[in-house]
Amino acid sequence: MTTSPGPAADLEALLSQLGRWPDVQAPNLFAADAADRLILDTAARELANTGWPSTMAIVGDHYGALAAGALALGSTSVRVHTDSLTARRAIEANVRQLLPDAADLLRFFPLAQVAEQASTILLALPRGLDVLDEQAAALAAVAAPEARLFAGGRIKHMSRSMNQVLAARFARVDVSLARQKSRVLIASDPLPKQPASSFPATATHHVNGTDFTLHAGAGTFGAARLDPGTRLLLEHLPDLSAHAALVDLACGNGSIGVYAALTHPRLQVIASDHSASAVASTLAAAARNGLSGRMTATQDDALSRLPANSATLITLNPPFHIGNTVTADIAFKLIDDAARVLAPGGVLLCVFNSHLRYRSELARRIGPTAQLARDKTFTVTSSIKES
């Protein structure tokens, strides 16, 4: 006698079919991991007596494992916040392909709204404690009084400090048993009196005689700090007066575009980043420095909104990881799109960790590449696109 697969088998079959498009593909990169599976399993077990909720709030889903899992388990309204445009497109694509009848049940919200009156929240733990606190503060402020948050991640990226961050905003925090090197923190009952959040943060910086102020959320790379690689690039920024516009790719907190605009009063800055937090931070920095009329920032997947051969100058400080996975693939994707958008003779100014040895790849993908600066950690280069 044979039996049909149970719900757990059906869910696993669904998760195994998830794709990463439009993100980069590599043999060591997956669309669902053990932490995603444990979050769903832990929530299903804890909710067994009350039933799976019809409305589910989800934060930090990468490719749709949590959103598709919630729909497959019975939710009829799935509210998602993800900071990454690439993640949003991947989630939408996976749900359309694998659960086409449920595609209309999926909606996206800002962080401050995603958990309004929600009783159950699923969260993929972020890398930083500041980001977790920013998320927990926003969720606890609007969730239902009896809300439970299921926050999971890989143990190697977790710390006891995460428990403390959640305990400052929820009355109770429990810890699941480990499984496949993953664990889930279960935070229950948001506290009626919430501690103040330290984000968004503001900081003023000084480079080569120029002062500028950054104003950024925790979800932005570097927040309001000036990371050492970007500082090295700014300290060795060449004369840009021959260019009418600068395209700041992967703009982060907007520091490159702000400094370039302040030191070159005729320069227009066109910034973009896949992160909604980064775009908001860049726009805030532009306003703080009186540059709103000369700076724009847009959430984009690389430079997909810009036509080929349309820019003479692009700056880039590429990330070297996707989520918790270290990989050069995302940097190469950004470099390749910069090559597409640069006009012949156009320049890409790039800063990267010296040990990554991107110079040969820049020469191959863009054109002749010269080193502008180097310290013990970072290298700054200038690449000219060949005809």
- pLDDT score for 328: 66
DSSP 198-251: --SEEEEEEETTEEEEEEE-TTSTTTTS--HHHHHHHHTPPP-TT-SEEEEET-
- pLDDT score for 24: 78
Low-confidence residues of the chain, pLDDT below 50?
1-6, 324, 326
DSSP label of 268: E
Spatial strand order of the sheet with 311-316 comes to 295-299, 268-273, 245-249, 311-316, 342-353, 378-384, 369-374
Residue with tokens 């039996």: 3
Residue 69 CA to residue 243 CA, distance in Å, equals: 49
- pLDDT score for 5: 41
All domains in the chain, ordered by first residue:
7-190 (3.40.50.150), 201-384 (3.40.50.150)
In this prediction the pTM is 0.90
* Integer angstrom CA distances of residue 373 from 231, 297, 351: 11, 27, 9
- pLDDT score for 9: 63
Residue with tokens 């490719």: 63
Q: Is 9 exposed, middle or buried (0-12, 13-18, 19+ CB in 10 A)?
A: exposed
Mean pLDDT of the chain: 94
- pLDDT score for 93: 97
Radius of gyration over every alpha carbon of the chain, rounded to an integer in angstroms: 22
Q: What is the pLDDT of residues 137-176, one digit of tens each?
A: 999 999 999 999 999 999 999 999 999 999 999 999 999 9
